[in-house]
Structures are given as structure tokens and as C-alpha cells.
Amino acid sequence: MRDPELLYTIDEDVAADLRGGTEPTLVHLVRGFVDAGNAGQLASEHLTEHFTARRLVTFDVDELLDYRSRRPTMTFDATRWSDYEEPELVIDVLRDLEGVPFLLLHGSEPDIRWESWVAAMRQVVERFGVHLTVGAHGIPMGVPHTRPIAVTAHGTRPELVADHTSWFGTVQVPAGASALLEYRLGRWGHDALGFAVHVPHYISQSGYPRAALAALTHVERTTGLDLASARLEAAATETTAEIDEQVAASPEIGAVVHALEQQYDAYAGSVARPSLLSADIPTADELGAEFERFLAQQDGDTHGS
């Protein structure tokens, strides 16, 4: 392994502000390959929009990204390339509504050199005395949007997630860099935990502010930070109302959602709960196709009126 310190640079002026006994929380909301409802991404955008951020750590994305698998966006304007959306992976220093400093890791998940990147993160965590690392993202689940949002909590010590219901037994899933970060930090004696927000899989490809609100609420409860999560409530309510309108206008979709409600209620009230992952429910493709048919009908009605 090459020296992990070569993967990043630190702004020493910003670092100086974290001295003096401060033991900040590190919140990580990295764009990975799974983030149903854009829960983590919307939460990250909320934090960077509502709190002043100072750049502490900048990672060398050329060493970490596979541009051919995740091509950045460029804008072509008539006769020239006018813009390039540069990928980044950074750690910013923010202060919550009470002025408490915390670190925010956000940007693109590394595609390669995971172990080197995790080792670099260990250096950052130990240099700045991070006492707790917390992450969040969305996962698609067979749940209806009309029921409370649940989360799967996971941590490096049982005590960190003792107050949360365990929804799964033992399962194997594809790894993510953020999950590896939590795993390695635990092996190195650092506290870390995360929240996987359960997003209805029929809307998992769309932005779902209610999921971001749930993610930030759990981060607030765990860390004691005031992240102004309530400011997401208006967007969450509006999006839910739009989904309700679509469901009400389509008997087929309504029947699917009703079936999910019955399944959810039975699951939540059962002592010996089967896994939601193995339940006999429509697939995301089937539900997505039904929504697409509904939207196409709406477009046709609009054009014909």
C-alpha cells in the first residue's frame, strides 16, 4: 500500500480552528452505488446549503475514481464545451445551529484503492480527535410510503445501536466504501455507526425528501447536533402529497400500495418476523413500469385536452 497521506491535502488554516480540545463528530454522506430516494445526497445538499462550510480535506479524485464507469457531466453549448461538473471527495467543517463544529465527508465514493482511502480516513479521524463517525443512505425496501419510515442501524459496538430494532438476520450484500470505513474504524477502536433508511422501492429512483429527513433526524438524535432537519419537512410533505395523488388516480397502483400496507402491518405486528427482503411483493421494475404507464396516461390526457 502506498502512503495514504499522499491521497489528500489539508488546509492548515482551517485545521487550526479545530484545535483546543474539540472532538468533533464526522458525518459521512458519500454518493455510493446504493442511495434509494437520494436520501444521503439530499441530506448532504441540505447541510451544505444551510450551513457555512470550510474545506478541511480534499482527496485526489484522480487516484480514486474510475471515470469510465461513472462519467462526469459536461455541458455542450452550440459550438463549445461550456462547463464541466468536476467530481470531488472532500471533508468540510460546518457548525450546527448551536455553533458546534462537525465534519462532513461528502462527494463521490471511491471506485478504487479502498484500503488506502480508509487508511487515509483513519489518519484524519485520529489527527482531529473524531469521537464518533456517523453515516446514512437509503436502501430500497418492500414498504409503503404511507407508513412510518424505518431504518436499519448498524455500529461498531452493540451499545451504539441498542435502541434500534433489528430488521434483518445475517445477509451478504455488495460492499461499499462507507461500509468498509465503518468496519475498519471499529477494528481500530473507533466508534462508528450508520443508518440505512428504508425507502419504498417503487420510488427509490426518485428524490424522496422524507427519507433524507429521517436520515438527518437519526443523526441528530445520535450526535446531539442541531442540523435544522425540520427545514426538510415542507419538501417531504409536498412530495408525499404528489405520490398520494398518483396513487389515488390509478386503481392498479392503489392496489399495490394497499397490499404493501397489509404486509407492513402484519410484519410490524409479528413476533417472529420474516425478512422484508424475502417477502412475496412486486419487483421494483414491475412497480416502476406501473408508475410509468400512469404518467404516460397523464401526459396523454394533458396533450389531448
The top-level CATH class assigned to 4-230 is: alpha beta
Question: Radius of gyration of the chain from Cα atoms?
Answer: 21
The predicted structure's pLDDT at residue 18 = 85
Measured CA to CA in angstroms, residue 234 lies from 231, 238, 240 at distances of 7, 6, 10
Lowest mean pLDDT of 23-32, 116-125, 201-210, 280-289, name the range: 280-289
Write down the residue that cell numbers 442511495 correspond to.
35
The pTM score is: 0.86
* Range list for CATH 3.40.50.10900 in the chain: 4-230
Range of weakest confidence among 110-124, 126-140, 173-187, 272-286: 272-286
* 226 vs 206: CA distance, rounded Å: 27
Longest CA span, the chain? 67
Work out the pLDDT band at 305, boundaries 50, 70, 90: very low
What pLDDT does 268 receive? Answer: 74
pLDDT tens, position by position, 23-75: 999 999 999 889 999 999 999 999 999 999 999 999 999 999 999 998 999 99
Q: What is the mean pLDDT of the chain?
A: 89
pLDDT, tens digit (0-9, with 9 covering 90-100), for 191-216 = 999 999 999 989 999 999 999 999 99
